[in-house]
Amino acid sequence: MTIRFRDFFPESQPGKKKVLGVFATLDYEPLTAVIDRVNEWVRASGVRVMTVETVVLPQVKDPAESTRTRFHTSYSADISWFQVVRVWYQDPA
């Protein structure tokens, strides 16, 4: 049996920005939209889902970065934290 995981990150919404004082930041899709994408992937891939969890990751925008085991953050800069949906699964037999 091989256990794998896949992370689903919220996608930025082009043209939508949040204004925080004099700064504008990208706006991201809500968690419900991320869950919709997870459900589509599960149906299409035929994997056997073992469990699903949310993981909060600092300054990670690329799914490849989510496999890192150490994150260094600095309090002197603006840091974005992302709530990611992680699906643990087995490949279809």
The confidence score (pLDDT) of residue 27 equals: 77
pTM of the predicted model as reported, rounded to 2 decimal places: 0.76
Residue 88 pLDDT more than 70?
A: yes
Q: What is the pLDDT of residues 21-59, one digit of tens each?
A: 555 567 788 899 999 999 999 999 999 999 999 998 876
Separation between Cα atoms, residue 33 and residue 39, nearest integer Å: 10
- pLDDT reading at 91 higher than 80: yes
Sign of CA dihedral 58, 63, 65, 67: positive
Residue with tokens 């073992």: 50
Domain assignments of the chain as residue spans, ordered by start? 3-66+78-90
Higher pLDDT pick, 18 / 48: 48
Instruction: Pull the structure tokens for residue 38.
Output: 């997870």
